[in-house]
C-alpha cells in the first residue's frame, strides 16, 4: 500500500543528494564506457593486457570496501573523489559490452532498467509496507548468485548463466525498493552534522548506483543480442 507521506525537508534534501550523485556517477560511467567501447585505440590495449583489466576490477572492489569502511574518517571531498573514481573505473570495464552486444540491445536494456529502477524506487519511497524483512532473503540471494556464478565458471553453461542472470534481475529489482526505503528511514532518523550527512549521501548514492548497474548488466545478459 502507498500512502501520502511528506518527508521532512532535511530528509528530502538528503534523498535529492543521493539521487543526484547517483545520476552523476551513472552519466560518467556511460560516457566513459561509450567512448572507450567505440574507440579501438582505447579498448585494444586494455583488453590485450589482462593484468591491467583485472587490476581495474580489483581496484573497483577495493574502492567500494574502502568507502564503506572508512567513510567516517574521510572528508566529504575525499568521499566524492573515491565515488567518482569508482564510476570511472566501472566505465572502463563496462566498455566491453559495446564489443559484445548490439547497440539496440544495450539501449533497450538501459531503458528497461531505468523504468524498473524508477518504479521500484517510487515503491520503496512511498509504500508504508515494511520491507526490512526482505533484507536477509535478498542477502542470501546475492550470495547464492555469486556462488552459482563461480561454479558456472567451471562448467561454462550458457543455460545456467541465463537462469542465474534471470534470478539476479529479480533480486536487484527487489533490492532497489529495499535500499530506497532503508535510505529514506536513515534520512528521517539522522542526527548528525552537515558534512557527515553529505558523506552518507555518497554511500547512499553508491548503494543505488550498484543496484542500477547490476540490474542493467543482468538484464543485458538475459535479453541482449550479441554481435555477429
**Sequence spans of domains, the chain:** 9-223
Residue 51 has pLDDT above 80, yes or no: yes
Mean pLDDT, residues 143-160: 88
Which residue shows C-alpha cell 537462469?
163
Residue 2 confidence (pLDDT) above 90: no
Smallest Cα–Cα separation from 211: which of 159, 169, 148, 157?
Answer: 169
Q: Which of 220, 181, 200, 213 minimizes the C-alpha distance to 80? A: 200
Q: What is the pLDDT of residues 81-135, one digit of tens each?
A: 999 999 999 999 999 999 999 999 999 999 999 999 999 999 999 998 999 989 8
Provide DSSP, 75-142: -HHHHHHHHHHHHHHHHHHHTTHHHHB-HHHHHHHHHHHHHHHHHHHHHHHHB-S--TTHHHHHHHHH
Query: How many CB atoms are closer than 10 A to CB 109?
Result: 22
Four-point Cα dihedral 116, 207, 20, 122, nearest 10: 40
Q: How confident is the model at residue 12 (pLDDT cuts 50, 70, 90)?
A: confident
Amino acid at each position: 500500500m502507498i500512502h501520502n507521506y511528506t518527508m521532512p525537508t532535511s530528509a528530502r534534501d538528503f534523498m535529492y543528494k543521493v539521487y543526484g550523485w547517483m545520476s552523476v556517477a551513472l552519466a560518467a560511467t556511460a560516457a566513459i564506457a561509450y567512448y572507450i567501447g567505440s574507440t579501438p585505440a582505447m579498448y585494444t590495449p586494455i583488453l590485450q593486457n589482462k593484468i591491467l583489466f583485472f587490476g581495474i576490477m580489483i581496484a573497483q572492489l577495493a574502492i567500494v570496501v574502502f568507502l564503506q569502511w572508512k567513510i567516517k574518517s574521510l572528508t566529504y571531498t575525499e568521499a566524492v573523489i573515491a565515488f567518482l573514481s569508482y564510476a570511472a573505473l566501472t566505465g572502463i570495464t563496462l566498455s566491453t559490452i559495446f564489443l559484445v552486444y548490439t547497440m539496440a540491445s544495450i539501449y533497450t536494456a538501459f531503458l528497461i532498467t531505468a523504468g524498473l529502477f524508477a518504479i521500484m524506487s517510487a515503491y520503496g519511497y512511498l509504500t508504508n509496507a515494511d520491507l526490512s524483512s526482505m533484507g536477509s532473503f535478498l542477502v542470501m540471494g546475492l550470495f547464492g548468485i555469486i556462488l552459482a556464478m563461480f561454479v558456472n565458471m567451471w562448467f561454462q553453461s550458457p543455460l545456467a548463466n541465463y537462469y542465474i542472470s534471470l534470478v539476479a534481475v529479480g533480486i536487484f529489482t527487489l533490492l532497489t525498493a529495499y535500499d530506497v526505503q532503508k535510505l529514506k528511514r536513515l534520512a528521517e532518523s539522522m542526527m548528525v552534522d552537515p558534512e557527515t550527512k553529505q558523506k552518507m549521501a555518497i554511500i547512499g548514492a553508491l548503494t543505488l548506483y550498484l543496484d542500477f548497474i547490476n540490474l542493467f548488466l543482468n538484464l543485458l545478459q538475459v535479453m541482449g543480442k550479441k554481435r555477429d
